[in-house]
A = this chain, B = another copy of it.
Amino acid sequence: MKLKEKLKQEKKLQIIRTACKLFAEKGYSNTTMHDIAKELSMSVGNLYNYFSSKEELAKEIMVTASRWVAERIRKINEKDISTKEKIYELVKSFIDIALKEPELIHYFLRVFLSNREVFEEDCLGFACVGDVVTEIGVLLSEGVAKGELRNQDFFSAFVTIMGPMGGIVFLHGENVLQKPLMEYAEEIAENIWRALKA
On A, residues with C-beta under 8 Å from B are 26-30, 109-111, 113-117, 125-126, 152-153, 155-160, 162-168, 170-171, 174, 176-179, 184, 187-188, 191-192, 194-197
Contact = CB atoms under 8 A, between A and B. Distances in A.
B160 A191 contact: yes
A117 B158 contact: no
Interface majority SS on A: helix, strand, loop or mixed? Answer: helix
B27 A117 contact: yes
A90 to B, nearest CB: 14
A83 to B, nearest CB: 15
Given A160-B167, A191-B195, 7 more contacts: A26-B117, A113-B170, A114-B114, A153-B187, A156-B188, A163-B167, A192-B195
Nearest to A30: B117
B195 A168 contact: no
A27 B184 contact: no
A156 to B, nearest CB: 4
Contacts of A29: 27-30
B113 A109 contact: yes
A73 to B, nearest CB: 17
